[in-house]
């Protein structure tokens, strides 16, 4: 179970570089990626959105989760073959809302996280749209939640918009929830995001070696071995990036950036979790109150770029901070 008690820890600046420092070429060598032509196809329970060299695959039979986000055929996400906890999914926030105990709640609502979604026919814009079955929220009597995920190609930006719409299909209950995207990536990478307000905090049982550091105006986590579950909480500036061991920059961004006062109780705008087998990079949006029949939409833009050869891939790298800024503007 993942507990949410947190405490401030002094930050430090590591000098450890990833194995690809100074030599990362982005999985595609010197070839610049292209994002056309665009196509959307379905094969069994899998739907694929292809933008030239960029590909996203979602599985309607597994919570509509994203199982592949790849460039030049290199997937940035942990796969089911690699670990039983894999891909990218959506949870309602806060975690304490999942069970009547109000703390240490696990697992997330199955209908949203791992159940079967219904797929709409692919439209002329090549959008893929999946909808969950209804699920109650254990802490709210009479509640019923339905989640729609729509995947929208944006070839002009070399991006895919993932739009999550949570609906309260109850006829009488009101719920207060925030959106939460959880993406599992391989260890030995480098996570970073814009630095917001306040200190970084950690679950009380996090490994003492697990730390998020400051540098170049951003916050950084250089993946390192841990002996047990460890988690950090921080305010960000709306985006979250991961440099993979294959030399790709995986970047997600949501707008508007949720401010600390808008975040669900016990949560944070950016959360980073690891258990030594994989790393979870997590974005959260603003808390919203939904009356019967109301819905809340939250969009996260996904991008994937090669890290140019010669880029310094270390925590606090000005080169990487500049690359993220450039990629965000595209």
Task: Say if residues 279 and 184 touch (Cβ distance below 8 Å).
Answer: yes
pLDDT band, residue 207 (cuts 50/70/90): very high
Residue 75 gets the label, from left (phi > 0), alpha (psi -120 to 50) or beta, of: beta
Percent of the chain surpassing pLDDT 90: 89
Average pLDDT of span 129-157: 97
- pTM of the predicted model as reported, rounded to 2 decimal places: 0.92
Spatial neighbors of 124 by CB under 8 A, at least 6 apart, are none
Helices (H), the chain: 110-113, 318-329
pLDDT of residue 1 exceeding 90: no
Task: Say if residues 172 and 203 touch (Cβ distance below 8 Å).
Answer: no
pLDDT at residue 195 in the model: 97
* DSSP letter, residue 260: G
pLDDT at residue 12 in the model: 33
Average pLDDT of span 301-306: 98
Cα pseudo-dihedral 226, 230, 236, 241, rounded to 10: 40
pLDDT at residue 30 in the model: 62
Which residue has better confidence, 269 or 6?
A: 269
Spatial neighbors of 166 by CB under 8 A, at least 6 apart, are 92, 145, 146, 147, 177, 179, 290, 295, 296, 298
pLDDT at residue 55 in the model: 98
- Closest by CA to 158, choosing from 14, 45, 56, is 56
Buried b (16+ CB within 10 A) or exposed e, 72-104: bebbbbbeeeeeeebbbbbbbbbbbbbbeeeee
pLDDT 10s digits, 83-113: 999 999 999 999 999 998 888 899 999 999 9
Task: Say if residues 132 and 117 touch (Cβ distance below 8 Å).
Answer: yes
pLDDT of residue 325 exceeding 50: yes
> Which helix (DSSP H) or strand (DSSP E) does residue 73 occupy?
none
pLDDT band, residue 6 (cuts 50/70/90): very low
pLDDT 10s digits, 35-57: 999 999 999 999 999 999 999 99
């Amino acid at each position: 179970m993942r507990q949410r008690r947190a405490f401030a820890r002094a930050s430090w600046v590591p000098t450890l570089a990833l194995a690809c420092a100074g030599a990362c070429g982005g999985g595609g060598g010197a070839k610049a990626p292209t994002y056309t032509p665009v196509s959307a196809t379905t094969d069994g329970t899998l739907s694929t959105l292809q933008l030239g060299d960029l590909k996203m695959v979602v599985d309607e039979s597994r919570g509509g989760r994203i199982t592949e986000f790849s460039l030049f055929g290199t997937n940035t996400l942990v796969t089911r073959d690699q670990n039983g906890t894999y891909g990218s999914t959506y949870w309602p926030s806060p975690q304490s809302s999942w069970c009547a105990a109000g703390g240490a709640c696990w697992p997330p609502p199955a209908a949203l996280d791992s159940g079967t979604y219904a797929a709409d026919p692919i439209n002329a814009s090549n959008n893929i749209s999946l909808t969950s079955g209804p699920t109650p929220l254990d802490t709210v009597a009479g509640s019923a939640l339905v989640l729609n995920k729509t995947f929208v190609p944006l070839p002009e930006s070399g991006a895919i918009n993932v739009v999550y719409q949570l609906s309260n299909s109850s006829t009488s209950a009101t719920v207060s929830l925030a959106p939460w995207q959880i993406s599992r990536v391989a260890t030995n990478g480098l996570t970073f995001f814009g630095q917001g307000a306040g200190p970084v905090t950690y679950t009380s049982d996090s490994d003492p070696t697990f730390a998020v550091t400051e540098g170049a105006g951003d916050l950084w986590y250089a993946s390192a071995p841990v002996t047990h579950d460890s988690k950090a909480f921080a305010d960000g500036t709306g985006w979250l990036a991961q440099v993979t061991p294959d030399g790709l920059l995986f970047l997600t961004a949501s707008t508007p950036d949720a401010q600390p006062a808008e975040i669900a109780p016990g949560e944070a705008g950016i959360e980073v979790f690891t258990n030594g087998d994989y790393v979870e990079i997590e974005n959260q949006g603003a808390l919203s109150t939904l009356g019967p029949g109301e819905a809340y939409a939250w969009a996260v833009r996904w991008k994937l770029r090669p890290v140019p050869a010669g880029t310094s891939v270390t925590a606090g790298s000005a080169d990487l901070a500049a690359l993220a800024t450039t990629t965000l503007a595209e």
